[in-house]
Each structure stands twice: as C-alpha cells, then as structure tokens.
Amino acid sequence: MDPALEASVSDALDQVEQRLHEAVKSDDAVLAAASKHLVEAGGKRFRPLLTLLAASFGDMDAPGVVPAAVVVELTHVGTLYHDDVMDEAQLRRGSPSANARWDNTVAILTGDFLFACASDILADLGPESVRLQARTFQRLVQGQLRETIGPAGGDDPVEHYLSVLADKTGSLIAASARLGAMHAGVSAEVVDVLGRFGERIGMAFQMADDLLDIVGESSISGKTPGTDLREGVATLPVLYARRLARPGDERLLQLISGPISDDAAHAEALELLRAHPAVEAARRDVRRWADDARESLISVPDVPARRTLEALCDTVVTRTS
C-alpha cells in the first residue's frame, strides 16, 4: 500500500475502532457486556477498510466517511450474533459465542441492538444512505432465508449457493464501498463501479473462506479445518464434489451427505475432498470472481487506492493456493 494512503487508512481505522466501542455502550449491564463481546473480539474489519479505500477516491477526511465505516461494521457484527444462533455455534473468533455465553434470546436481542445502533448513526448520514442500508438489509435477510430453506427441487445447488453468497456477503461489502465513496464526494459513476467491485470481491472473499475450510491449515488460517464439513454445510467444494462425482467416489459422497460427528470419518472426508478435482474447480471460481473484480476497476482513476484494491484481488486468490 502507498505509505501516505496506509497512514491515512490506519488513522481512520483507529477512529472507527473508537467509535465502534462508543456506539455499543448501554446502561443495561447484560446488554453492555453482550454488545461489546464480539466488537472487542476483533476481526478483519474488512468492510470498514473497504469503506475507507473507496473514500480514498475522493476526500477520506469528509465527515461522513468514518461514521459510514462504523455503520457497516455494526451491521456485519449484528448479523454474526444472529448467525451463531441459527447455526448453534459455540465459538466465534476463538471465544465462546454470545448464545453460548448467555443464551439465544440475549444473542438475538443483542444483534437487534447493534442494528439499532447502526440506524442511529445512519440517521445523520442522510436519506440516500438510509435507503442503501435498508435495501442491503433486505438482501441480507433474503440470503439467510434462502440458505435456511435450501434449493428448491430442480434448482442448481451451485447457483443457489452463489445467490446466497451474493445476498449474505456480497451485498454488505458492496454497500461498504458505496457508502465510503458517496460520503467522500466521489462521482456517481465511480460510486457504481466501486459498488460492483465490492460485490465481486465479496463473492471471491467468501468463496475463498469456504475453500480454506477444506484446504487450509489451522496454523496458517487460525481456524479448525473442516468446520463446515463437520456441520454438514454444503459449500462450493462439496457441491462440486457432488456435481463432478467419478466412479470410486461413493465413499466421499457418503461422507459428505450430512454432518460428520466421528473424528476418523471427518479426517477421511477431508483427505478425500482435498484430493478431488472439486477443489480446483472451486479455486477457479475464486480466481474468476477476483479477476472480474479487478477488471471492474479499469474505468476508475488510477490513484493509490485503486492499486491497493487490485492487490486485494491477488491476495484473495493467493490465500487458497
């Protein structure tokens, strides 16, 4: 990253972090503890970073930029509380999930509280930002519902998976870029391009995460390999393994037909899946979405932020190599 840009983004991220902690304060002791639980657990802060990089195409010091970055992270963290309840997750970012530490009701209400905190900030950012957030939230809910119900009979499972990713992940990352650019005074044409970039890199980012769940090593990724596999979550490598099944894949297909509770069976499934052409097929999709994201930037000004976003496309791909 360009040194001057890096310094500006680092300073702005510090402001985002401070405002995040201020935004989730509550007079209620339980709500105060639960709402800061995941905020203090950290995370990549990928969405605020993208907000700031998009704002770098204009005036990153404009008054609405840092609040917009806070809004997207509050929204993201709020969805994590709800996701953990629906997934019955016990851990989040290496710590007990809110539903495990308290209960499902507290976790759900805490997620709602964070959405309310985001809305309070949004009210000062103007109706266009409020409308964008509302439409993004519609997509978040739609994607979660579609994932919960699963593909309808006759639907292509891979296309269903991609539609879920677009709504659950791509929509908020696209909104992150749009909000940053909008509040930095960037032209409407560049705002649209950066929004399209955000959707595409968001797809690549989530597909890479799902692929790392299969091919990653815990010492590198910090995650336990095969978590989705153990829970019976059919991500892209599993879907491709079913689509590209070969003679002799019967054992793999049996293992990935549902959740895997037995450790030996889980290890066997990981080994078989890692050696299957499905993994390379998933890698190709990550590269394709990252390449599409990079190509979408051709029409925007050649400033340091553009080169950083282009480098981000490479980083997403190399994570899964």
Closest CA to 229 of 218, 214, 241, 244: 214
CA 55, distance to chain mean position in Å, is 20
Q: What is the pLDDT of residues 202-247, one digit of tens each?
A: 999 999 999 998 998 754 444 577 888 888 889 999 999 999 999 9
3-state secondary structure 87-115: HCCCEECCEECHHHHCCHHHHHHHHHHHH
Closest CA to 43 of 17, 71, 67: 17
The one-character DSSP state at 152 is: P
Q: What is the pLDDT of residues 268-282, one digit of tens each?
A: 999 999 999 999 999
Quickly tell me which residue has 């503890």 as its tokens: 33
Q: Facing residues of 96 across strands?
A: 91
94 pLDDT tier (thresholds 50, 70, 90): low
Per-residue tokens: 56: 């770098």
Quickly tell me which residue has 């991500």 as its tokens: 235
38 pLDDT tier (thresholds 50, 70, 90): confident
Lowest mean pLDDT among 145-149, 166-170, 219-223, 256-260: 219-223
Q: What is the pLDDT of residues 44-67, one digit of tens each?
A: 899 999 999 999 999 999 999 999
Closest CA to 42 of 65, 7, 12, 16: 16
The C-alpha atoms of residue 84 and residue 312 are separated, in whole angstroms, by: 28
Inter-CA distances, 95 with 24, 38, 85, 273, Å: 19, 9, 15, 28
pLDDT at 155: 92
The one-character DSSP state at 34 is: H
The vertex-170 CA angle with 167 and 172, nearest 5°, equals: 90
Mean of all residue pLDDT scores within the chain: 91
pLDDT at 30: 86
Q: Enumerate the H helices of 217-303 as residue ranges.
A: 218-221, 227-231, 236-243, 250-255, 263-274, 277-295
Q: What percent of the chain has pLDDT over 70?
A: 94
What length is written for the chain? 321
* pLDDT(178) > 90: yes
Question: What structural domains does the chain harbor?
Answer: 1-155 (1.10.600.10), 187-320 (1.10.600.10)
The C-alpha atoms of residue 295 and residue 302 are separated, in whole angstroms, by: 13
The one-character DSSP state at 90 is: S
Helices (H) and strands (E) in the chain, counts: 17, 2
